[in-house]
Amino acid sequence: MSRLDSFIRRMQAQRDCLNDAARRLADIPGPVLDLGLGNGRTFDHLREIMPDREIFVFDRVVNSNPKSTPDRDHIFLGEAEEQLAIAGARFGRTVALIHSDLGTGTEDDARLAAMVVPLIVPMLRPGGILVANNRFPADAWDELPLPEGVPAARYFMYRAN
């Protein structure tokens, strides 16, 4: 499979998982955290499918399209570990959805996930959902079935227990 085809499949999986999470969270309040703003496509999609939610993004630097960039009050800028600790103190266990698009598709992703898991577990409210491009194993959540058409291990969904 070409890298372009792989990218398209990953983006379709991401969209389908986020749409499924938004549907599942319709009656669960709380903000949304998007880890990895990138060019802002996912943030833009989240504000379209969850228009009544406050959405906060995290990244090292802002390189997003101006049309897909949140205001400064909704951006955590800097290293993930430091910014997630700040967010944890701010939000406590109130977050309804965390989307993680961190990593590079290499072996370092497992190390990154191990660093992030203890920081996000305390933020995801009971019934909240984590949607991630990497496996995020934790005793604090249960793996959800993926939406129809999303290949296994292409994306991951978890519900906080």
Give the DSSP H/E element, type plus range, for residue 34: strand 32-35
Tell me the two tokens of residue 16. 């389908």
In this predicted model, what pLDDT tens digit does every residue of 125-138 receive, in sequence order? 999 999 999 888 88
**Structural domains for the chain:** 3-160 (3.40.50.150)
Q: How far apart are CA 110 and CA 154, in angstroms?
A: 15
Eight-class DSSP state of 154? T
Per-residue pLDDT at 106: 65
Q: How many CB atoms lie within 10 A of CB 65?
A: 12
Q: Please, are residues 14 and 42 in contact by the beta-carbon 8 Å criterion?
A: yes
Q: Is the pTM of this model over 0.85?
A: yes
Cβ within 8 Å of residue 94, ≥6 positions away: 29, 30, 31, 123, 125
